[in-house]
Amino acid sequence: PVSTMADPFVHAGSRSEMLGETPSAGAVARYSLERMDWSGRPPVFLLHAMDDEAVPVENSLQLLTALKAAGVKAETHLFQEGGHGFGIRLIEGRPAAVWPELVLRWGARHGWV
């Protein structure tokens, strides 16, 4: 996910669309999920392909670190291949193709599916 609005790992297009061309430091901090107070939040499922050329994998890693520090359960899956914006149809035959099943199992463990 695009989780940070801060350099060096920001997806510049997302920041520009959300916060404008020259966002204030306060806006960058306010909309960077790794800086959010995650205390008491429900479990989170993170999924990222390490070959994503649009959104650096560090977005997920920073968010995971913040979730862990806040004591939030976070299931995280990093795939070597998958690129950016993969859905179910775009990754057939790649390791990331298992992600829908992983989400369903995770949801079932939490009683949501």
Domain tally for the chain? Answer: 1
Structural domain contains residue 86: yes
Structural domain contains residue 20: no
Structural domain contains residue 27: no
For the stretch 11-29, pLDDT in tens is: 999 999 999 999 999 999 9
For the stretch 65-90, pLDDT in tens is: 999 999 999 999 999 988 898 887 77
Structural domain contains residue 100: yes
Report how far apart, in Å, the C-alpha atoms of 72 and of each of 50, 66, 102 are.
23, 9, 19
Structural domain contains residue 90: yes
Report residue 73: phi and psi, to 5°: -65, 130
Structural domain contains residue 19: no
Per-residue pLDDT at 92 exceeds 90? no
Domain span at 47: 38-109
Structural domain contains residue 59: yes
Q: How sure is the predictor about 95, in pLDDT bands with cuts at 50, 70 and 90?
A: confident
Q: How sure is the predictor about 93, in pLDDT bands with cuts at 50, 70 and 90?
A: confident
